[in-house]
A = this chain, B = another copy of it.
Amino acid sequence: MAKREKISMSVIRRLPRYYRFLGLLESHGIVRISSKDLAARMGVNASQIRQDFNCFGEFGQQGYGYMVSRLRETTGEILGLHNAYKAVVVGAGNLGRAITSHISFERHGFFLAGIFDNSPQKIGTFIHDVPVFDVAELEAFCKREKPVMAAICVPLSAAGRIADTLYSCGVRSFWNFTHYDIAMEYSDAIVENVHLNDSLMTLCYRISNPEQKASL
């Protein structure tokens, strides 16, 4: 991890896919790989792969290629997956429960400290060993535990209030599943939006206009 000037989001959003493919190669017992070979497997351009990794340093060997396991480890370090940022999930509906397993099971940089909901049936239960608390306790919990990240899985009508509470307690990064525009409201927040409706509408467009091809 050497250079590090100003990495574009385009590059960053490709890193998780590299990480995944490198893990797959490793599990297949492949020890080294050239950018050309990796590009062919991933359906991308070899120049792009070399450019992308060179944003962070020199990880290859001329005439030889890249060591799969070292490149995978490095990619994980660049992404920061060795961290255990304290996180909370707000909203324990189907979506909240679904993403709970993403945050807590996989080793993806986070540690899930609590889930918050307003349903008496859910409060006091556990989801993947993580306790579900009353959302009324969210503020006290955040002031005490200082989570770094919050996943927002509540109805739109509640999103603004929840975001305000979290922000006022010092939470500055959000995994946002609502259409509430946290990034516009708090310009210093780091917001990763997952807009399922937008994705579904995009799919609808592409079905309705099949001349388009491009994917990702």
- Give A contacts to B, CB under 8 Å: 4, 6-7, 9, 12-13, 15-17, 19-20, 43, 78-81, 83, 85, 93-95, 97-99, 101-103, 106, 108-110, 148-149, 173, 175, 179, 183-184, 190-212, 214-216
Contact of B85 with A207 in the complex, beta carbons under 8 Å: yes
CA–CA, A110 and B103, complex, Å? 30
- Smallest Cβ distance from A41 to chain B, in angstroms? 9
Q: A99 — which chain B residues lie within 8 A by C-beta?
A: 196
- Smallest Cβ distance from A193 to chain B, in angstroms? 7
CA–CA, A26 and B29, complex, Å? 57
Contact of B95 with A206 in the complex, beta carbons under 8 Å: no
20 A-B pairs with CB atoms under 8 Å apart are: A6-B211, A7-B209, A12-B206, A17-B198, A20-B197, A43-B184, A79-B201, A79-B205, A79-B208, A80-B208, A85-B204, A85-B207, A93-B98, A94-B98, A94-B101, A99-B196, A148-B207, A175-B200, A192-B215, A194-B199
Q: Identify which of A198, A211, A215 gathers the most chain B CB atoms within 10 Å of its CB.
A: A215
Select A202's contact among B16, B97, B204, beta carbons within 8 Å. B16
Contact of B108 with A200 in the complex, beta carbons under 8 Å: yes
- Smallest Cβ distance from A38 to chain B, in angstroms? 13
Contact of B197 with A102 in the complex, beta carbons under 8 Å: yes
Contact of B173 with A207 in the complex, beta carbons under 8 Å: yes
CA–CA, A203 and B173, complex, Å? 8
Given A17-B198, A194-B196, are A204 and B97 also a contact pair (CB < 8 Å)? no
Contact of A204 with B80 in the complex, beta carbons under 8 Å: yes
Select A110's contact among B15, B179, B204, beta carbons within 8 Å. B204
- Closest partner residue, chain B, to A78 (CB atom): B205
Contact of B206 with A173 in the complex, beta carbons under 8 Å: yes
Q: Identify which of A16, A83, A149 gathers the most chain B CB atoms within 10 Å of its CB.
A: A16
CA–CA, A197 and B214, complex, Å? 22
Given A98-B95, A199-B175, A200-B102, are A214 and B9 also a contact pair (CB < 8 Å)? yes
Select A206's contact among B110, B190, B207, beta carbons within 8 Å. B190
